Structure 1
Amino acid sequence: MILTALIDNTRLDDRTDLAVERGLSFHIKTMGQEILFDAGSSKAFCDNAILLGIKMEDVDVAIISHRHHDHCNGVTHFLDRNSKAQVYFRECTETDYSFKAFGFKSNVGIDKTLLDKDSGRFSFINKTTEIRPNIFIITSLSRKHEQPKGNKYLFTDSGDGCKPDTFDHELLLVIKEDDGLIVFTGCAHSGVLNMIETAIELFPNTRIKAVVGGFHLVGLPLFNSIGGTKRDIEAIGESMLTYPIDKLYTGHCTGMKAYEILKGVLGDSLEYFPTGRRVII
């Protein structure tokens, strides 16, 4: 697999030509398929793709991890550039998504008008589905471990008042190559340990070559605080060490403070994955 970060909150130091935003988008090339996983919040990932030698028109399938704007609003720009790929979301109840803290409230949800654009290009998944050979979208996620503490600022409103977001709009992507799994978490609002647990339950006794994505260990993004305590983050890292995982690549909503804490536990098995970075897994 060749994996490229098209957009993240940060970028490689030597790639000042690349745009950054608080968003996430990866390009995945594996088993003869090109996959877009998440689409950021603007066309920045498309612009970066050109600079990175990636053609959006060649993408075979797109997968959106959840319905927060920083992962999905760029889809409209993807559709402008690609005429063939089906775009997969998790099926869920229509609602509004918001961030609330200390009297401040902002909309963090999908631009619903984009779902009306070329609506035949969208597929909505409500169960574990193998969308292409050895490419799995998983919707039933483990609840064995606690969800991220930063979730407490995130809400939904379906017309009957704000309620805590249960993340029934979040999915997990697992790609099964000949020598192991690659697990894509998006923001891991359901909990990165739960996502890892889900992959292991579905593919027992299978090596996990990499876990890739945000882990949502940030508390208040504006202040780059951590969700919970330092010890909470260390405990997550210690749990990760008990799983058969070769590498973890993260960024975005993990937050730099939490990343440094995890790095202290996980060492070389954990790497940051900024805009412009490309790895072979």
Structure 2
Amino acid sequence: MILTSLIDNARLKNRTDLAVERGLSIHASTMGKSILFDAGSSEAFCDNANLLNIDISHVDAAVISHRHHDHCNGVTHFLDRNSRAQVYFRECEETNYVFKTFGFKSNVGIDKQLLVKGMNRLTFVNQMVEISPSIFIITDISNKFAKPEGNKYLFTESDGNCIPDSFDHELLLVVKESDGLIVFTGCAHSGVLNMIDTAIKHFPDIRIKAVVGGFHLVGLPLFNSIGGTKKQIEQVGEAILDFPIDKLYTGHCTGMKAYQILKGVLGDRLEYFATGHSITI
């Protein structure tokens, strides 16, 4: 598999031509298929793809991890540039998604016009499905481990009533190659440990070559604070060490402070996956 970070909060130092935004979009080339995982919040991932020699019009399928704007609103531009691929979302009730703290509230959800524009191109899943040979979307995510502390600022809102987001709109993408799994986490609001645990339950005794995506260990993004304590984040890293994982590539909502804490635990097994970074797994 060849993985390329099309959009992240940061970029490679030598690629000042690439745009950045607080969002996530990853391209995967595997087993003859071109897969888009998440689409950022704007057209920037498409423009970066051109500069990285990735043809968005040839993408075979797009998978959207959850309904926050920084992962899905770029889909409207994907639909303009690609006329054939289905775009997969997890099926859930329609609601509004908000960030709320200290009396401040902002909309962080999907642009609902996108759901209308893409009506004939969107597929909604509510169970594990194999969208292409050995490429799986999983919706029954484990609840064995604690969810990220940063989730406490995220809510759903209907008829003016806010309740904590249950993240029933989040999914997991797993690619099963001949020599192991690649697990894509999106923001891992359900908890990166739960997502890894889910992949292992569905594919026991198979090596995990890589876990890719954000881990949502940030607290308040504006201040790049950590979600929880340093010890809690170290414990996440220590738990990861117990799993059969070769490498982890992360960025976006992991947060730079939390990333450095994890790096202290995981060492070379962990890499920051900045915009423009391309790897072969």
Correspondence for 1:23: 23
Tell me the SS of whatever aligns to 2:120: helix
For 1:80, the aligned partner's letter is D
Question: 2:57: which partner in 1?
Answer: 57
**What is the aligned partner in structure 1 of residue 133 from structure 2?**
133
The corresponding residue for 2:211 is: 211
- The letter for the 2-side match of 1:83 is S
User: In the TM superposition, what whole-angstrom CA distance separates every residue of 1:219-269 from its partner, at most 9, and x where no partner exists?
Assistant: 000000000000000000000000000000000000000000000000000
Counterpart of 1:37 in structure 2 is 37
3-state DSSP of counterpart to 2:19: coil
CA distance in structure 2 between the aligned counterparts of 1:142 and 1:221, rounded to whole angstroms: 26
Q: What is the deviation of 1:160?
A: 5.6
SS of residue paired to 1:9: coil
Q: Within 1, Cα distance between the matches of 2:181 and 2:26? A: 17
Name the structure 2 match of 1:120: 120
> How far did 1:118 drift?
3.5
Moved over 3 A (4+): none
Moved more, 201-210 or 152-161: 152-161
SS of the counterpart of 1:271? strand
CA distance in 1, matches of 2:32, 2:116: 30
Provide the aligned length of Structure 1 versus Structure 2: 281
Question: In the alignment, which residue of structure 1 is the partner of 2:251?
Answer: 251
CA distance in 1, matches of 2:154, 2:133: 35
Deviation, 1:157, is: 1.1
Residue type of the alignment partner of 2:141? L
> Once the two structures are superposed, what CA deviation does each residue of 1:79-124 show, in whole Å capped at 9, x if it has no partner?
0000000000000000000000111100000000011113110000
- Aligned equivalents of 2:55, 2:77: Cα separation in 1: 13
Task: Give the TM-score, by structure 2 length.
Answer: 0.99
Residue in 1 that maps onto 2:238:
238
Report if aligned partners of 2:98, 2:109 keep a CA contact under 8 Å in 1: yes
Number of the residue aligned with 1:266: 266
Residue by residue, what CA displacement relative to the aligned partner does 1:123-178 show, whole Å, maximum 9, x if unpaired?
00000001110000000000000000000000001226000000000000000000
Structure 2: stretches of 5+ with no match in the other structure: none
Q: Distance in 1 between matches of 2:223 and 2:118?
A: 38
Specify the SS of the correspondent of 1:205: coil
1:84 corresponding residue in structure 2 = 84
Distance 1:161 1:41 in 2: 26
- Alpha-carbon separation, structure 1, partners of 2:113 and 2:18: 28
In the TM superposition, 1:96-107 aligns within 5 A as 96-107=96-107
CA–CA distance in structure 1, aligned partners of residues 222 and 117 of structure 2: 32
Q: Tell me, in whole angstroms, the C-alpha distance in 1 between the residues paired with 2:238 and 2:17.
A: 37
Letter aligned with residue 115 of structure 1: L
Tell me, yes or no, if the aligned pair for 2:210 and 2:249 is still in contact at 8 Å: yes
One-letter code aligned to 1:279: I
Structure 1 letter corresponding to 2:235: A
| Partner SS state of residue 232, structure 2 | helix
1:5 is the counterpart of 2:25: no
CA contact (8 A) 2:76 2:118 kept: no
Structure 1 residue runs without a partner (length 5+): none
- 1:72 corresponds in structure 2 to 72
CA distance in 2 between counterparts of 1:44 and 1:116 reads: 22
SS at match of 1:22: coil
Task: Please tell me whether the aligned partners of residues 187 and 214 of structure 2 are also in contact (alpha carbons under 8 angstroms).
Answer: yes
Alignment identity in percent? Answer: 75
Q: Tell me the amino acid that sits aligned with residue 196 of structure 1.
A: I
Paired with 1:158 and 1:103, the residues of 2 have a C-alpha distance of: 18
1:173 correspondence with 2:152: no
Q: CA RMSD in A?
A: 0.5
Counterpart code for 1:217: L
Whichever residue aligns with residue 120 of structure 2, its letter is G
